Chain A
Amino acid sequence: MHTPSTEARPSIYYQYEVFKPWLASAHPPQTRQKVVIVGSGPAGMVTALELARHGVPSVVLSAELQFSQGSRAICFTRRSMEILQQVGVADRMTAGGLPWRFGNSFYRGQRVFRMEAPHDADDRFFPIINVQQQFMEEYLHDACKASPLIDFRWGNKVNTVVQKDGYAQLEVDTPEGPYTLESDWVVAADGGRSGIRTAMNLQMEGASYEGFFVIADIKIDLPLPTERLAYFDPDWNPGNTILMHREPNGIWRVDYQLPPGETPEEALRPESLKARINAQLAMIGHAGVPWEMDWSSVYSARTLTLPDFVHGSVIFTGDAAHLLPIFGVRGANTAFQDAQSLGWHLAFVAKGLAGPQLLANHSAERVGAAREIITEAGKSTRFMAPPSPGFRLLRDAVLSLSLTQAFVRPLYHWRTSRPHEYTHSMLNSAGDDNGLFKSGPAHGAPPQNVRLGANDFLLDHLGGGFDLLYFTDTALPDALQQVINAARQKGMPLNVTAVGAAQPVAGADQHLPDADGHLRQRYGVPAHGGAYLLRPDQHICARWLTLDATRLQAALNNALPR
């Protein structure tokens, strides 16, 4: 019998709702599901929403009866917001969030590095926005509830997953006892301590770093802007690093490294937290400002990934698939990209529009992304928390030099999470004009957003299937229309946008006037007749200077391998 807590979690700023558990006795007998998603964090819910968008129903299982404890992930990147826009929650994130683009590193009281993340006029979203995870989960949950294709089950804990021939059998425990659930696919979005990963005895590749960091959220009124603050080797915590972030609702995140040998239990004692937070506040000139503790936790930096995310009927995603250091905001932000990718890849396989190679492609692309992140995050981690005497000596030398020598200061850069480019994806078209373009997003790249007008951007108009951007002011040639219609008849969702057309044109579902040619310029298209093909995650899989029916057919065939 699974008995999750029915007591609302404590929080200064967030009122937890305790949901009713889903009980099998209150529902008709279960048929085999298409997709069961284990875990209701960012990865699980975005996967469910993307699947629903492509018409695939899913069951989401949450072991708890409420959203997660504490703020957890607080910094969301522009690409995450673009993904959240696709599943309909970006406006709520924006309404409650604190956007920012500057980061500061301090050593011996001097600001030795200032990061200024670019903010292009063509971007709808800021480089980063701070929102506490409970709010983000609430927004995603509301979107899930609004979908008739998502069956959300609170208080359902997975005991076992048994792989059968072409499906999996789950034993799910609830407050009235266990029931059995069968599903063609199981998405393991059950977090960094994934019980499914452990039970399947899957080994992750990579490194774990020694040393712990405390995360503490405090309510305090500090007259500081929303910028990232990093303090290196302060007097009160010699050799270690402290990070501070402003959160909405009068909360600040204080994140500090523990001296070697100190246990998490010691570090989380109230008197220990109090002394260190007071010391940090004193160091930044705000000694004695009253504050109140909301939540605290401990983490250590790890750079680990499963080498394959797909195992029979079980697919791992988010933290269940990889563990990444939080320097560079890589947890939830990577999970969103994983989930967006998984959502459409799995949907097309579940609907029979593509073969299992498409899921292999998802795994290859996202494992590649995890490995790229591990390489980058490893550099940040070795600077923030040096793993050996040599790394510590180099880091300390850089700190010391940075007071006077500009050339070392870029080493403070924390390499913010950015979307992986699927440059070598098997879905990229071999016979297109990718190499002939002088600018614009290339094979595998995420889309370039473009401002079209007041509160109107290109990405507002895309998504939900494949998108063909065709640059024209007249009707699409008949041959192209025939290829497009044939693909649709086979079930491929393909939305055609005529770019550069002031009026609706035959063969296009929508038109964007692009009167000043700015979109065409950002996409590096020299003349009418050029085109881009975007996957359902908006990454580029083909582009042509002059599109013809034969090459469009080839690109569509390639993008959905059977």
Chain B
Amino acid sequence: MTPLSHSPTLSIGGLETVYDALATAIDQAGADKAQLFLVKLALLNANALADETLFQQHITAALQDL
């Protein structure tokens, strides 16, 4: 798998923090709202990325191996 960006990536510690925070938030949203929560999060992240091409690459990567 090729890296999606040459910009700085998360440290291991940072990734672990994101991992826990996301898992906790999905549980907090509850089963019936988890999808909605994740889509909202994706839109916020996409806006912060400010790069629709990079976001499309993320979509392609996330669609792999489902």
Contacts and interface: CB of A to CB of B under 8 A. Distances in A.
Interface of A: 393-394, 396-398, 400-401, 405, 407-408
A405 B44 contact: yes
Given A397-B43, A408-B43, 8 more contacts: A394-B43, A396-B36, A396-B39, A397-B36, A397-B40, A400-B40, A405-B47, A407-B47
A393 B47 contact: no
A349 to B, nearest CB: 45
Contacts of A393: 35-36, 39
A396 B34 CA distance: 13
Contacts, number: 23
A350 to B, nearest CB: 49
A401 B39 CA distance: 10
Nearest to A396: B36
A397 B42 CA distance: 10
Interface string B2-34: 000000000000000000000000000000000
A393 B36 CA distance: 6
Q: Per DSSP, are chain A's interface residues mostly helix, strand or loop, or mixed?
A: helix
A126 B36 CA distance: 39
A408 B41 CA distance: 12
B39 A397 contact: yes
Contacts of A408: 43, 47
B48 to A, nearest CB: 10
B60 to A, nearest CB: 16
Contacts of B39: 393-394, 396-397
Nearest to B42: A397
Contacts of A396: 36, 39
Contact of A400 (B36, B42, B47): B36
Contacts of B42: 397
A394 B42 CA distance: 10
A401 B40 CA distance: 7
A401 B38 CA distance: 12
Contacts of A401: 40, 43-44
Contacts of A397: 36, 39-40, 42-43
A383 to B, nearest CB: 14
14 contacts: A393-B35, A393-B39, A394-B39, A394-B43, A396-B36, A397-B36, A397-B40, A397-B42, A397-B43, A398-B43, A401-B44, A405-B44, A407-B47, A408-B43
Nearest to A397: B39
A471 to B, nearest CB: 43
Nearest to B33: A400
Contacts of B44: 401, 405
Contacts of A407: 47
Contacts of A405: 44, 47
A401 to B, nearest CB: 5
A394 B40 CA distance: 8
A518 B42 CA distance: 48
Contacts of A394: 39, 43
Contacts of B35: 393
